[in-house]
Amino acid sequence: MNSYIEKNIARVEANLPVFFGHVTATLDKTFPNLDDRAYDDFIDAITGTVINATREAPTAEYFEKILRHAMRGKRRKRERTTLDVIVALRLLDAGNYHLATDYLMRHRNYDGRINAAIAYCYHIQSRAVNGEQGAQSSDMEIRAREEMLYLARSRPPLNRLGVFDRKGTRLNQIFWSMFDLALTWFPSESGLYRIGILQTKHENDLEHRQRLLGHAIKQFPDNKFFLAEAFDTCIELRKGSEAAAIVKQMLQQYPNDHDTLYSGLKLAILGAQPEPYANFRKLAIIKGFPKCPLLLLDTVLEIMCNHKAASYLCFEEAKKIASARDYYITALDYILRDYIDGGEGREIRAKSAFITSVDRYCMRVLKIGEDRL
């Protein structure tokens, strides 16, 4: 459909109601069970292709006409954030920064990348150095800096616009451009590093995440968020000694925190080390860890040590204190039986599923990582 639009843009523009009617009819026929979010994301993406391929003058009046027809086909009739951002980026590329800012400001803080795009509009305008525009240059630069500082401190959510989720989209390019610039403006602003690290995680850019974490840990060695993220990254990269060093640092800074104690338990489990695990378990009991998550972690430790019989004995203890209607425990029981009694292939899959599931369950019950969102 994108290819058709680009090759026949004049025909599409001349018959917008018919074109969008064809789009919705095709969606309804081809994907009758498509959920509302995916349905509307498709229409947004198609509308973006029309807007970027148009040969008409990039005016607000023309774009509003396209958006009116696009909105009629959407299921969520009031959700036009993505469409407004698409228009703003097209206006930005056309050099109409003032109007682009108007479209973006309607959705400020909906997605942190929109804030960065607002700052970008101000920053580009600040480059003007001649005539009347030159007198406004410093004011626009101040606005750009204020917007990035506001982004760092207000912590809006990220990546709520599905159409722009791909790594190399224009919106993401603008975000990283302004992020790098903001680090030169505010090198001591921890909130900038925080939002950058969260974005690298979403983009699955491990190299960039490591680089940002390295700078953040050096500059903010007692920051709980950066320590926890550095620990998770070390675990992901299987760097046990570095993870142990971070746990030691976390114990010095936050000895009573559940994040710290759970990190110690997790590291001991992954290393199949009963003695360090027992030490952290004692601390966890003292600090009020719930009993069921601890018994499930005991089970995971026995699994990591390849003690099948002992793992089920630990799990039986967890079942005793769980509610009779705890369907999660029932599901875990089936998975654990697959690990104990299944063939080699099923055993490996069941082991992985059990360990991953218990890890997520414990983090949810202990509310670990909630402050990182």
Calculate the average pLDDT of the chain.
92
* Residue-level pLDDT at 337: 94
Per-residue pLDDT for 117 more than 50? yes
Per-residue pLDDT for 284 more than 70? yes
Highest mean pLDDT among 7-11, 74-78, 196-200: 196-200
What's the pLDDT band for 56 if we cut at 50, 70, 90? confident
Contacts of 280 (CB under 8 A, 6+ apart): 261, 264, 265, 268
* Residue-level pLDDT at 331: 94
Per-residue pLDDT for 8 more than 80? yes
Number of residues that make up the chain: 373
Rounded Cα–Cα distance for residues 11 and 17 (Å): 12
* Residue-level pLDDT at 131: 43
- 159 neighbors 104 (Cβ within 8 angstroms): no
What's the pLDDT band for 345 if we cut at 50, 70, 90? confident
DSSP 56-71: S---HHHHHHHHHHHH
Sign of CA dihedral 259, 263, 264, 266: positive
CA geometry: angle at 360 spanning 355 and 362, to 5°? 95
Mean pLDDT of 9-15: 91
Q: What's at 259, amino acid-wise?
A: D
Rounded Cα–Cα distance for residues 293 and 322 (Å): 10
* Residue-level pLDDT at 369: 78
* Residue-level pLDDT at 322: 83
Q: What is the pLDDT of residues 18-54, one digit of tens each?
A: 999 999 999 999 999 999 999 999 999 999 999 999 8
In the block, which residue shows the tokens 């590093």? 193
* Residue-level pLDDT at 343: 78
Q: What is the pLDDT of residues 218-234, one digit of tens each?
A: 999 999 999 999 999 99
Q: What is the pLDDT of residues 155-180, one digit of tens each?
A: 999 999 989 988 789 999 999 999 99
Per-residue pLDDT for 133 more than 70? no
Q: Does 136 or 249 have the greater pLDDT score?
A: 249
- 77 neighbors 106 (Cβ within 8 angstroms): no
Per-residue pLDDT for 344 more than 80? no
Q: What's at 189, amino acid-wise?
A: E
Q: What is the pLDDT of residues 302-342, one digit of tens each?
A: 999 999 999 999 999 999 988 766 889 999 999 999 999 87
Q: What is the pLDDT of residues 94-114, one digit of tens each?
A: 999 999 999 999 999 999 999
* Residue-level pLDDT at 136: 54
* Residue-level pLDDT at 128: 65
Q: What is the 3-state secondary structure (H, E, C) of the chain?
A: CHHHHHHCHHHHHHCHHHHHHHHHHHHHHHCCCCCHHHHHHHHHHHHHHHHHHCCCCCCHHHHHHHHHHHHHHCCCCCCCHHHHHHHHHHHHHCCCHHHHHHHHHCCCCCCHHHHHHHHHHHHHHHCCCCHHHHHHHHHHHHHHHHHHHHHHHHCCCCCCCHHHCCCCCHHHHHHHHHHHHHHHHCCCCHHHHHHHHHHHHHCCCHHHHHHHHHHHHHHCCCCHHHHHHHHHHHHHCCCHHHHHHHHHHHHHHCCCCHHHHHHHHHHHHHCCCHHHHHHHHHHHHHCCCCHHHHHHHHHHHHHHCCCHHHHHHHHHHHHHHCCCCCHHHHHHHHHHHHHHHCCHHHHHHHHHHHHHHHHHHHHHHCCCCHHHC
